[in-house]
Each structure stands twice: as structure tokens, then as C-alpha cells.
Amino acid sequence: MSATAGRTPSAPASGGRRVAGVLAPVLTPFHPDLSVDPERLVRHCRWLLANGCAALAPFGTTSEANSLSVEERERLLDALVGAGIDPARLVPGTGCCALPDTVRLTAHAVRRGCAGVLVLPPFYYKGVSDDGLFRSFAELVERVGDDRLRVYLYHIPPVAQVGISPGLVDRLLAAYPRAIAGMKDSSGDLANTRTMLDRFATRGFDVFVGSERFLLDGMRAGGAGCITATANVNSAAIARLFRGWRTPEAEKLQEEANGIRAAVERVAIVPGLKAIVAHHAGDPGWRTVRPPLVELPAERREALLADLAGRGFGMPGLGG
């Protein structure tokens, strides 16, 4: 356990109110022609916020965000805010390969009043230097040029291949202590999460684990919560774990959440989550994914749903 255990992530050094708790990287629903569906997105976001999510991280990996154009992302964010979803509970993903795209999406999110942005490093070139990544984020902060900007660095080496090192965080925090707000650590490596917390949590840097599997360990080490794909379907249970992490029930809540996670991880996670939402919403159209992802074959889908049913899993109120 680190020296920072027990700090309150929602009261950081920089003063502004910060997000903490369970965030869902919201699934993106598509029409049959693969166009985005703002109405179903709004409905799902409302359900998530009413069922345990402290905030939402639309346009993450689980959201197929990199399969969306910049215009589609802007339009969907406008639809969310326009529908009355509080932007103080939104941390949209805005990191693209191209700096102008990242700047444009980030500036748009800041203008809409979002609590922060979750920013992938540019991920096309591999083996790039920390100098180059520092410059990417520095250009982002300088070009957006807005005191309200709060950047959460998105570390997901299994997918992006390009990661965020402690040395890079150190340099960014030194240069932009107000704008660099934290990280989503989807490395799947708790040792990395602990390193980030031990080195940077006292500097107002909030670390979210990228899977609820690490939520209890992360909170004990001083973490701020989790941003996790499975929150799209299991937000209430994960939020109970977040709220109860200091209680005697914590281990049991963690185990229960792990069981659902394991069931989902047995299939491709984005099509799997969409199949679950489709089933519980009574809306098969929710299963649609954009290429290069593909829908689950019917037999895998049915096996997943049966597995979850056997665990007493449900999504009450989703189909309403």
C-alpha cells in the first residue's frame, strides 16, 4: 500500500472539482447502415448515470471511437450535452493519430464544459521517443490554450502499442501542472499503476485503473476509480465496490465483479458488451459494430447470455 492511500481524489491540489469513481467508456450504437445513433447513445448514457456511473468517458476504445470520424464524435458529444447530460460528468476521449484532430476534439470538449478529456498518444508510429510524445501533448495543451483543460493520459499499450511512461508523466506535470490531471492505466499491470500513484498522486495526478479487476487494489494504493468497458453493463455492482472499498465486504464485491468480467472476457469484449445491452434492452440493433470489429456468432452470444443469467446478472430499467 502506498503512502497516498486514503487521499480523496475528488479534492486535488489544482482546486477544480475532479471526477472520481466508476466511469464507463460508453458503447457507441449504430444504425443498420453503420451510421451513428445519437438517440440510443443518450438513452444508454442516462441509464449508466442512473446506475452507478459517476461520470462517462464516451469515445474510448470500447466506444469504437477510432472507428468514428472527427465530425461524428463532435456531433455525438453535442447530442449528449444537448440532451441535458451534465458535461461536468463527461470525460470524452479525444486522442487521435493526427495532432489537428486531437486539438479540434479537445477544444470542442472544453468549450462544451466537459470535466476533462481522455487522450491517447498518437498511435500510428511505433517506437517513438518520449520527446516526441511530450511534444504531442505539449502542443495539445498550448494549442487548446484554455485554463479549463484537464487532460487524462490514456495508457493502453496492448492496443495503442504506444504507451505513457513515468518519465513522460513527470515532464508533462512539470510543464503543465494544472492541465495534466491524471491517467487511465489500461496496462493491466498493477505495478505500473502503483508506480504512477507513488510518483505522481501527491502532485494532483488522479489514476484510474482500466479494469474493475484492479479497482480494490487501485483504491488501496490511492487511486481515483476505474474507467472500464464492463461498466457499460455492470456499473451498479462496480459502483458498489467503489463505494465499499474500505468495508469488510470489499473482497466479496471485488470477486463478484470479477466473475462478470471474466464471463465477458471470454468473448471479444466490444461485440460481447453490445450483445448484452441488445439482449437486456430488447433491441437487437444494439449488436451492430463497425468494421474491423465483427458481431459475435449467435452461439457465442447465447453462451455468454446464458453464463451471465446463471450468475443472476441483470440490467434493470434498461429496456424501459
Sheet of 151-155, strands arranged across: 55-56, 21-24, 225-227, 206-209, 180-185, 151-155, 117-119
Nearer to its own copies, 139 or 217 (CB): 139
Q: How far is the CB of 75 from its own copies (least distance, A)?
A: 12
Q: Which is nearer to its own copies, 76 or 236 (CB)?
A: 76
Cβ count near 212 (within 10 Å) = 29
User: Which is closer to its own copies, CB of 125 or CB of 316?
Assistant: 125
Q: Which of 170, 217 has the CB closer to its own copies?
A: 170
- Output the smallest distance, CB 74 to its own copies, in A: 13
**Residue 261 Cβ vs its own copies, minimum distance, rounded to whole Å:** 19
Please say whether the beta carbons of 203 and 13 come within 8 A. yes
- Contact of 23 with 225, CB cutoff 8 Å: yes
Q: Which three cell numbers stand for residue 77?
A: 458529444
Chain contacts with its own copies (rule: CB under 8 A): 34, 61, 66-70, 72, 97-101, 104, 121-126, 128-129, 131-133, 135-136, 139, 158-162, 290-294
Amino acid of residue 91: V
**How many Cβ atoms sit within 10 Å of the Cβ of residue 319?**
11
CB of 118 to its own copies, least distance (A): 15
Measured from the CB atom, the residue of 215 and 289 that comes closer to its own copies is 289
Alpha helices, H only, the chain: 38-50, 70-82, 99-111, 130-144, 157-160, 166-175, 190-200, 215-220, 231-243, 250-265, 269-281, 298-310
CB 124, min distance to its own copies, A: 4
Instruction: Provide, rounded to whole angstroms, the least separation between the CB of residue 248 and its own copies.
Output: 40
Residue nearer to its own copies on the CB measure, 46 or 143: 143
Q: Which residue, 190 or 269, has its beta carbon nearer to its own copies?
A: 269
Rounded-to-integer distance, Cα 286 and Cα 272, Å: 11
> Shortest approach of its own copies to residue 251 CB, angstroms?
32
The helix or strand, by DSSP H or E, that contains position 226, with its residue range, turns out to be strand 225-227
What's the start-to-end Cα distance of the chain, in Å?
43
